[in-house]
């Protein structure tokens, strides 16, 4: 276990009808709000109306900025920064899923950063110059990205379609309202992709080469079992509060950095996936269900025993230790079966992607980087092999 610092001051307000508390929470920090969201879904499911009512009840001034899309764009972030400056706004409220929250964090950081906001994403060393951001609040509608209480924001620059991230305490939301009911209306595929994203966050943390991290291993396993059990049930019964609640809370804890303590996560599969969803129009969660089995097949030999532990404790594989590879590959088949049960792709061919651009994607993944991943430090040729395994 390595030395660590853990700090997460996000206030989680969880449960039915909790949107009504948004206005009161904001009042602790500001009076002039940028209300940031995507498009129709928060209006269709009633969340938008509840939030606006809560803002009005507290007498808060607000300006709206909608139009966030998956893989949130730098251009909208820049627009939000201008809007905040012009209207002297002092709080950013994100209503939606990870894309909206990531966009809100970028705006909040950009308003307070002396340089151009994209610098922070391209060169993380510049985060040292970001000592504060506008306070951010969240009303979550999609359990997936975990951005509601994380230090992270991922933004896509349309010029060159580069997708890059920041991680900094100053963008941790001040509060996050989590009402599982707001996820009832998610399309089945989006529910499945969300579960895949959460499970990926857990695997990225789990597969570390750091020894003596059994407590956090077990916490991650607990979270994994929750997602494995509940996600398929949410597809069967979209309005089951208890199932949606388990997923929503587990999804937040998966990414709030508690499960990272004392260890260095991998995150290679995320980087490898970002190139797929950058080059083709597929959901992040669907890209992850394609990348992970391939990544596992490529890297497991770096620490077979970690994979055996995972296979036994999370997937109940209790084969004899006479053949350790058999245990690993049985686990991969069970993981793939879980993805397939939820209607997710497990090969590039499942989403009609061929080998045409995989060399280009592998090279692009290395732009500005010396390697991706930590379990095994991967170079362009390794990534290319992983894409081949995923065909």
Residues that bind a copy of itself (CB under 8 A): 1-16, 18, 211-212, 214-216, 218-219, 221-223, 225-226, 229, 242, 245-246, 249-250, 253, 258, 261-262
- Closest contact distance (angstroms) between CB of 2 and a copy of itself is 7
- Closest contact distance (angstroms) between CB of 294 and a copy of itself is 29
Nearer Cβ to a copy of itself (74/178): 178
- Closest contact distance (angstroms) between CB of 27 and a copy of itself is 16
Nearer Cβ to a copy of itself (7/322): 7
Nearer Cβ to a copy of itself (6/321): 6
By the 8 A CB rule, do 166 and 152 touch? yes
Nearer Cβ to a copy of itself (245/348): 245
Nearer Cβ to a copy of itself (79/169): 169
**140 phi, psi to nearest 5 deg:** -85, 135
d(CA 205, CA 146): 13
Best CA proximity match to 51, nearest among 11, 18, 28, 29 = 18
DSSP notation for 51-100: HHHHHHHTT-EEEEE----SS-BHHHHHHHHHHHHHHT--EEEEEESHHH
d(CA 373, CA 262): 17
By the 8 A CB rule, do 139 and 177 touch? yes
The token pair that represents 211 in the structure block = 């020894």
Nearer Cβ to a copy of itself (41/183): 183
- Closest contact distance (angstroms) between CB of 248 and a copy of itself is 10
- Closest contact distance (angstroms) between CB of 359 and a copy of itself is 42
The token pair that represents 248 in the structure block = 């929503």
- Closest contact distance (angstroms) between CB of 15 and a copy of itself is 3
């Amino acid at each position: 276990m390595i030395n660590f610092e853990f700090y997460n001051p996000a206030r989680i307000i969880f449960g039915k009808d909790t949107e009504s508390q948004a206005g009161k929470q904001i009042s602790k920090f500001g009076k002039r709000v940028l209300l940031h969201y995507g498009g129709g879904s928060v209006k269709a499911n009633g969340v938008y109306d509840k939030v606006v009512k809560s803002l009005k009840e507290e007498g808060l001034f607000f300006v709206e900025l909608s139009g966030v899309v998956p893989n949130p764009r730098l251009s909208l972030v820049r627009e939000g920064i201008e809007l905040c400056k012009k209207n002297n706004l002092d709080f950013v409220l994100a209503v939606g899923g990870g894309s909206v929250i990531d966009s809100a964090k970028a705006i909040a950081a950009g308003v307070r950063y002396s340089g151009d906001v994209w610098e922070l994403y391209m060169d993380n060393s510049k985060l040292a110059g970001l000592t504060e951001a506008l306070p951010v609040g969240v009303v979550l509608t999609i359990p997936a990205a975990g951005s509601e209480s994380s230090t992270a924001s991922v933004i896509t620059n349309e010029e060159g379609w580069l997708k890059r991230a920041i991680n900094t305490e100053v963008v941790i939301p001040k509060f996050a309202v989590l009402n599982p009911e707001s996820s009832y209306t998610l399309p089945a595929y989006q529910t499945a992709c969300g579960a895949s994203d959460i499970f990926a966050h857990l695997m990225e943390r789990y597969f570390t080469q750091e020894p003596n991290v059994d407590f956090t291993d077990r916490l991650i396993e607990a979270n994994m079992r929750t997602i494995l059990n509940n996600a398929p049930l949410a597809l069967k019964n979209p309005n089951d509060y208890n199932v949606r609640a388990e997923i929503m809370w587990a999804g937040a804890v998966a990414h709030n950095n508690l499960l990272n303590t004392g260890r260095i996560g991998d995150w290679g599969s995320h980087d490898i996936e970002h190139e797929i969803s950058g080059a083709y129009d597929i959901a992040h969660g669907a890209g992850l269900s394609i990348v992970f089995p391939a990544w596992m097949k490529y890297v497991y030999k770096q620490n077979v025993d970690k994979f055996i532990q995972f296979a036994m404790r999370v997937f109940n594989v209790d084969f004899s230790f006479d053949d350790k590879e058999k245990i690993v590959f049985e686990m991969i088949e069970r993981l793939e079966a879980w993805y397939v049960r939820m209607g997710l792709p497990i090969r590039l061919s499942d989403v009609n992607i061929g080998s045409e651009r995989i060399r280009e994607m592998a090279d692009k993944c290395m732009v500005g980087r010396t390697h991706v991943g930590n379990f095994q430090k991967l170079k362009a040729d390794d990534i290319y092999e992983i894409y081949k395994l995923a065909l």
